[in-house]
Chain A
């Protein structure tokens, strides 16, 4: 990097607005150029001191040690084919609205089915109904009223409509 470029970028350097590569190049230039270093000191004395100190390099083998530690962990990251939470984070607004609507409809349908399936009214005792009135109506068997004698349905009806109402 030449001095003109360095001087142009000093303010951006101090604000932290330079990309990492450009920043490194400028710092290297400042360490070797007294004039540009003096310009930096005029803007920020602290920066002109700190830039002269180079951090030691990453210890050799660091990446390998990190990977070894990652592999040795008891609960490694497992492949996930599909994660509902990840889907929710990545999905768009309309998708969120559609999912919420489907959930509401599903809940509504489930509630409606459950409501419709509940017992309508307490059942009247068949014995008392049969004893006190039309057994066919009591047992809701009027559709068998036309069953011929001797047929299975007719026999069943006969049993039901016998005096004790319990086929005895």
Chain B
């Protein structure tokens, strides 16, 4: 039996099929969670944003039109929620990060990994919201410039300019990090 596409599942969601909605959540929860987590730096806020994203998809199902891949559409919804979150509330950096699963790391490696992750998250949090979203979508989610343009509601050139400025803004942190790791 052929696996239904995301677009097929969304058409079933339009007809009130919550099982189809559940399948979409299972398939794409990682994407929504990762963007929200990298943007907020907080696991609780991230889960709330990711959940809101899926509920918005559900609410908008009757108006859904498959003009772009569902994955890109979901990134668009999550991105808007992250930017709204930023406008309403300044993110709070957390000192304690959730445990990362690693392959039997040594205590030293674990400590280095946590320090690195905290460093990266702090550097991201210091960026303006739109720079941060651009970095998350490109470097953590691997979206192309065209996909980022759809997700962020901007032109491809505008997205590339954002990425360029984000790299410049992160350069000092990057040098600091590489100096520490030597």
Does B116 count as interface, using CB distance less than 8 angstroms?
Answer: yes
In the complex, chain A residues whose CB is within 8 Å of the CB of B18: 67, 70-71
B120 — which chain A residues lie within 8 A by C-beta?
A: 49-50, 53
- Given contacts A16-B144, A18-B142, A63-B22, are A53 and B117 in contact (CB under 8 A)? yes
Contacting pair B174 A49 (CB below 8 A)? yes
A46 to B144 Cα, complex, angstroms: 17
Bin chain A's interface residue count.
35 or more
Closest to B58 in A: A70
Q: Which residues of A contact B55 (CB under 8 A)?
A: 66, 69-70, 73
Q: Chain A residues with Cβ under 8 A from B167's Cβ?
A: 46
- Which residue in chain B gives the minimum CB-CB distance to A65? B51
Residues of A within 8 A of B98 (CB): 56
Whether the pair B58, A62 counts as a contact (CB closer than 8 A) is: no
Query: Assuming the A-B contacts A16-B142, A56-B43, are A80 and B51 also in contact, with contact meaning beta carbons closer than 8 angstroms in the complex?
Result: no
Q: Does A168 contact B (CB under 8 A)?
A: no
- A10 shortest CB reach to chain B, Å: 13
Which one of B30-38, B76-84, B85-93 is at the A interface? Answer: B30-38
How far, in Å, is A100 (CB) from chain B's closest CB?
A: 20
Residue pair B61, A77 in contact (C-beta under 8 Å) = yes
Given contacts A56-B100, A89-B65, contact A16 B16 (CB under 8 A): no
Say whether, besides A49-B120, A50-B120, A73-B55, A57 and B101 are in contact (CB < 8 Å): yes
User: Knowing A53-B120, A56-B97, A70-B55 touch, does A83 contact B62 (C-beta < 8 A)?
Assistant: yes
Contact B65 A46 (CB under 8 A): no
Cβ-based interface call for B95 (8 A): no
Across-interface contacts of B25 in A (CB, < 8 A): 62-63, 66-67
Q: Which chain A residues border B178 with CB–CB below 8 Å?
A: 45, 49
- Contacts of A37-53 to chain B: CB distance below 8 A: 45-47, 49-53
Contact A20 B29, CB 8 Å, known A49-B174, A69-B55, A77-B62: no
Contact present for A16 and B147 (CB under 8 Å): yes
Q: Tell whether, in the assembled complex, residue A79 and residue B117 are in contact, meaning their CB atoms are under 8 Å apart.
A: no
Interface string of A63-103 (1 = CB under 8 A from B): 10111011101001111100100100100000000000000
The interface residues of chain A lying within 8 Å CB-to-CB of B99 are 56
Q: Tell me whether A56 and B37 are in contact (CB under 8 A).
A: yes
| A55 on interface, CB distance cutoff 8 Å | yes
B177 cross-chain contacts in A, Cβ below 8 A: 49
Whether B30 and A58, one on each chain, are in contact in the complex, defined by CB atoms closer than 8 angstroms, is yes
Interface flag for A119 (CB, 8 Å): no
Enumerate 21 A-B pairs (CB-CB under 8 Å) in ascending A order: A18-B142, A20-B142, A45-B178, A49-B177, A53-B116, A53-B120, A54-B102, A55-B140, A56-B97, A56-B99, A57-B30, A58-B33, A62-B47, A62-B51, A67-B25, A70-B21, A76-B16, A77-B16, A80-B14, A83-B62, A86-B62
User: Which residues from chain A sit less than 8 Å from chain B, CB to CB?
Assistant: 13, 15-18, 20, 23, 45-47, 49-59, 62-63, 65-67, 69-71, 73, 76-80, 83, 86, 89
